[in-house]
Amino acid sequence: MNSSCEQKQNINVLLVTLSAQGHLNPILKLGKILVNKGLHVTLATTNSALKNMSSAPKCIGGVYHEFFSDGLPIDYDREANMDYYMDTLSKFGPVNLLALIKSHPRKFACVVHTPVVTWVSDVAAEINIPNAMLWIQPCTLYQIYHRYYNGLDEFPTDTNPNMNVKLPGLPVFHADELPSFVLPSNRFRSLDSILKQVFHNMHKVKWVLGNSFMELEKDVIMSLNNGGCVFWPVGPLVPATLMGKEVDVGFDLFKSNEDSNCMEWLNKQKPSSVVYISFGTFLFLTEKDIKNIASGLKTTKRPFLWVIRVPENQELPKHGFLEEIKEQGLIVSWCPQTQVLSHPAVGCFLSHCGWNSLLESVVAGVPVIACPQWTDQPTNAKLVTDVWGVGVKVKKSLDGVVSGEEVGRCVEEVMSGLKSEVIRKNALELKAAARVALRDGGSSDNNIRMFVDEVVSSCSCTEHK
Ligand code: UDP
């Protein structure tokens, strides 16, 4: 073993994240990559992650796990009381994380956190450990928030709610294509103030790593770095299953309630024939949405695999419209999404455009039907249609409803319409580019190496002081 290898194995990195699926997935993947580069990695999250687990996982893919309290009982309904949850977390999280770090047998050389737990920067500063942030949305969103929270450009206001916005490295955005938090209509106080804090505290962060890759968002990444930010894309941070590897163990906060095995069901379908539908882990569809999507799917007569999550203590509505299409597809409460997207039977993905889902679709080369709802999703949908050309967007009626006819129209447009061939070709090109970025010497691999080298050298500098 050479001396640089030996040196790295003594270097401990601590990753800290909110206990949410879309945050755990990319940071766990980053952890596995750092383990492969020779570092020792610990991932700390709040113990609400253990709600649906019989026992706490100790180590996944070489990444060790630790849990700390967010100040609330494990069974507390955090999603239903988001503002209170965020306030409590920012009060108790720093104290409990600091106690965890101080009592831990390993001395951490670097702390990496995801954006919502921005107070981690203060904990790291207090004990003098260098800090990196893993930005888990597109770099496009980083640029929009950076410009918005630092007052660098004009954004829609109560008096001018529909203005267009043009920012460096990005196309023109209409107001309804911007993230919901920068609009005057935003109702989520705590998330807006957390983002404000993130962008006012950036001076405390030494490195910003992004879950994206140069070839996917080149103009905006170049513009960020030319504008004085140090922003290194290291993605796509997605499970290895999407790269054709065997099943990759993850950290699933949810479980499927059914006996049905969706992979066996997919094995029986024709190549590129299935419409896969999921709206991620936060959104619950209304009964009207479910009814309209069902009626749209029925008109297409195409097989579908549909993840419908229902709030705890509630059941899926057992109405005629789901009975009617039962034979045409499969409805589940949770599925191994990355395995599903890599399955040859999947022809398109009707998605809310959460960033993890979108990146997974990009890496799988699966065309997208974008049905965004809030936060970064409207902006991500714009990337799908106007920047990458890998899908279409569902048009909502003025009252925000998605009609069955519109769902049917979008499915046909992506599966067999005039644009379908170009969409599929673009999707396959991005799939190939994602693999190149991660390969030895690829753009993201180079950024990871630079990060690891800097952590190693900042660690040796401290040791020599
Ligand atoms: N996911 C999954 N199975 C499901 C639904 C979702 O594994 O049935 C995973 C999906 O692969 C993705 C994450 O949950 O990694 C959802 O993250 P995303 O950013 O897309 O959306 P969010 O839930 O944060 O809105």
C-alpha distances (whole Å) from 162 to each of 159, 345, 384 are 9, 41, 22
CATH number among 3.40.50.300, 3.40.50.2000, 1.10.260.40, 3.30.300.30, domain 3-235+438-459:
3.40.50.2000
Smallest CA separation from ligand 1 atom 6, residue: 280
Encode 408-437: b = buried (16+ Cβ within 10 Å), e = exposed. Answer: bbbbebbbeeeebeebbebbeebbebbeeb
**Cα separation, 456 vs 39, whole angstroms:** 9
pLDDT at 5: 47
Ligand 1 cavity residues, CB under 6 Å: 21-22, 25, 278, 280-282, 307, 334-335, 337-338, 354-357, 360
Look up residue 414 and give its amino acid: V
Atom of ligand 1 nearest to the CA of 309: 8
Helices (H), 14-81: 21-36
Which helix (H) or strand (E) covers residue 315, if one does? none
pLDDT by position in tens, the chain (length 465): 444 445 566 899 999 999 998 899 999 999 999 999 999 999 999 999 888 777 778 899 899 999 999 999 998 988 888 889 999 999 999 999 999 999 999 999 999 999 999 999 999 999 999 999 999 999 999 999 999 999 999 999 999 999 999 999 999 999 999 999 999 998 877 788 899 999 999 999 999 999 999 999 999 999 999 987 789 999 999 998 898 776 677 777 776 666 568 999 999 999 999 999 999 988 888 888 888 999 999 999 999 999 998 776 666 766 677 777 878 999 998 999 999 999 999 999 999 999 999 999 999 999 999 999 999 999 999 999 999 999 999 999 888 889 999 999 999 999 999 999 999 999 999 999 999 999 999 999 999 999 999 999 887 655 434
Please indicate, yes or no, whether the overall pTM of this predicted structure exceeds 0.85.
Answer: yes
Residues 6+ apart with CB under 8 A from 12: 39, 40, 41, 42, 106, 107, 108, 109
Measure 356 CA to ligand 1 centroid, in angstroms.
Answer: 6
C-alpha distances out from residue 434 to 104, 122, 178, 213, 425, Å: 37, 34, 25, 7, 14
Q: How much distance in Å is there from the Cα of 256 to the middle of ligand 1? A: 13
> What is the per-residue DSSP string for 173-208?
B-GGGS-GGGSTT---HHHHHHHHHHHHSGGG-SEE
Residue from 252, 281, 342, 360 to probe ligand 1 pocket by mutation (most atoms less than 8 Å from CB): 281
Ligand 1: which of 337, 342, 349, 358 to mutate, most ligand atoms within 8 Å of CB?
337
| CATH code 3.40.50.2000 region(s) in the chain | 3-235+438-459, 255-417
By the 8 A CB rule, do 21 and 254 touch?
Answer: yes
Minimal-distance CA residue to ligand 1 atom 17? 22
Task: Kindly state the helix (H) or strand (E) to which residue 64 belongs, with its residue range.
Answer: strand 63-68
Domain at 255-417: CATH code: 3.40.50.2000
Calculate Rg over the CA atoms of the chain. Answer: 22
Q: If 0-12 CB within 10 Å is exposed, 13-18 middle and 19+ buried, where does residue 126 land?
A: exposed
Ligand 1 nearest-atom number relative to CA 338: 11
Max CA distance (Å), the chain: 72
Q: What is the DSSP letter of 386?
A: I
Of 134, 248, 278, 284, best ligand 1 pocket probe by most atoms within 8 Å of the beta carbon: 278
pLDDT score of 350: 98
Q: What pLDDT sits at residue 465?
A: 40
pLDDT of residue 461: 53
Choose among 350, 354, 301, 311: nearest CA to 333: 311
